[in-house]
Amino acid sequence: MALNAGEVTRMIAARDKAGVLVEEAFMLRSHPQWPKMREIIRSGRLGKIQATQGLYSYFNRDPDDIRNRDPELGGGGTYDLGCYTTAVARYVFQAEPIRVIAAMQKDPSFETDRLSSAILEFPDGHGTWTISTQSARYQGLTILGEKGWMRPEIPHVPFAENETRIFIAGDVWPGPFAQETITLAPVNQYTLQGDRFSRLILGEAAEAWPLETALANIKVLDALFRSQASGIWETV
């Protein structure tokens, strides 16, 4: 949405002055698997959520790709992928992290971060993630609670033509095998996002993700970049 909290703050002021709707286009939040997982979390089935672990990666060394060209213009893995893994952790915990710490490896040619890992300390648990722009293509997420765990098969960008599956299990040794699989019908999350936003424009009932949510997300990224520079925990 922007490169720092100050830019989003100015967007909020412009939105309020113009009286328009503006959202950050995190398409995954329009996919029905996310409300379903939130419903399961709120039911208490997993117990108190203690941790999320996310991975998101692809391999791209194209020097003409804007994501590799200039960190000042938003290049690098944290801006491109870490925004999603951060948003997911905040969605699961339904809270904002208190402090964060990061480790970032930069490409010597592009000077953008190509491998980044983060710990987000929430009031009730830890959100951790690793993202990479120069690794095998992968996306994954595990949600760990006191009484069980949950894992969406494809958390960020599922194929529109395929069913979506959520794996769930309780406190059963050795742990990684699902006891239940919830299968959702194929959908195009980008279409759903456009339809949902259109309903908001028309004044109809729909879930809203105002710029304030984008501001909260970029504040975390700002703190992660500060942590990379300082080498210590940074408050959000």
pLDDT digits (tens, 9 = 90+) for 15-52: 999 999 999 999 999 999 999 999 999 999 999 999 99
Range of weakest confidence among 18-27, 62-71, 76-85: 62-71
Range of weakest confidence among 60-74, 126-140, 143-157, 206-220: 60-74
pLDDT digits (tens, 9 = 90+) for 106-141: 999 999 999 999 999 999 999 999 999 999 999 999
Q: What is the 3-state secondary structure (H, E, C) of 34-83?
A: HHHHHHHHHHCCCCCEEEEEEEEEEECCCCCCHHHHCHHHCCCHHHHHHH
The rounded mean pLDDT for the chain is 96
The domain made up of 5-235 is a member of CATH 3.30.360.10: yes
pLDDT digits (tens, 9 = 90+) for 161-204: 999 999 999 988 888 899 999 999 999 999 999 999 999 999 99
Whole-structure pTM value: 0.96
| pLDDT at 173 (0 to 100) | 85
| pLDDT at 71 (0 to 100) | 82
Share of the chain above pLDDT 70, in %: 100
Handedness of CA 83, 84, 85, 90 (dihedral sign): positive
Rounded to an integer, what distance in angstroms lies between the CA atom of residue 106 and that of residue 111? 6
With a CB cutoff of 8 Å and minimum separation 6, the contacts of 219 are 5, 96, 236
